[in-house]
Amino acid sequence: MSTDKKKTTQTAKPASRRKTPVAGAVQERLEKIEKGGGVVVCEDGLARPPWAVSDPLLRHYYDTEWGMPVRDERGLFERLSLEAFQAGLSWVTILRKREAFRTAFSHFVPDEVAAFGEREIERLMEDAGIIRNRAKILATIQNAAATIALREEGGLAQLLWSFQPAETPQPSTMAEVPTVSAESTALSKALRKKGFQFVGPTTMYALMEATGIVDTHLLDSHRRGSSGVWPLAVKT
């Protein structure tokens, strides 16, 4: 998952206007977001990374799903597909369309998606509820077929989790969170050899973060270590 960084234009304030405590807190939060800083303590007292602070949908996703281990074929195929559709877009755009994606792609059951033909492709291209990118739609169908073929070699979950690194990052700030790794690069190559598309190293690293294969929760986040896959890091 990636987030969009927006440039803001500052407007001069009248000299007589004083910054209220609320406005000051908001400004400080925005500065942290812009600088890719550390956690932000929200109004509920929980510490989250800047990208999971403002939008309620992103916050819920962060608090309940992001970084939790996914080991079933359908769940991993869905996330792999959504990460591919997200390329070039903000993750919140994908989350807002997630239910539409599930409906359009038969809840990401690989056997059903792999059977899509020209009629289904045209239906998807006319579906305003999803991202109507023909190349990504075709890649999703191809990836479903590749997922089925992988069953003879242990399956998609076994392949993805085989690239779990020996150690996970321990970032204190967003600037310290990697966007790619040796493992995500190797995973990308392995998937491409198996016929998968739209599985670049950066996209695969985002998938590894989202499904618990690595833990890139900031050290002070209330979610750090929550997956049970990685021990809670102790700050030194």
Asked if 22 contacts 2 with a C-beta cutoff of 8 angstroms, the reply is no
35 closest CA partner among 48, 46, 22, 51: 51
Asked if 60 contacts 66 with a C-beta cutoff of 8 angstroms, the reply is no
Per the residue annotation, which of 91, 161, 205, 230 is the catalytic one?
91
Q: Provide φ and ψ at 104, rounded to 5°.
A: -65, -35
Q: Provide φ and ψ at 48, rounded to 5°.
A: -135, 160
81 closest CA partner among 97, 59, 63: 97
Per the residue annotation, which of 51, 61, 62, 230 is the catalytic one?
61
Asked if 151 contacts 110 with a C-beta cutoff of 8 angstroms, the reply is no
Identify whether 91 is a catalytic site residue: yes
CA distance 219 to 232: 8
CA distance 99 to 173: 32
Identify whether 167 is a catalytic site residue: no
Per the residue annotation, which of 73, 83, 183, 209 is the catalytic one?
83
Identify whether 62 is a catalytic site residue: no
CA distances from 33 to 8, 13, 48, 79 (A): 12, 22, 11, 26
106 closest CA partner among 92, 126, 120, 89: 120
Asked if 222 contacts 201 with a C-beta cutoff of 8 angstroms, the reply is no
* Residue positions annotated with a catalytic role: 61, 83, 91
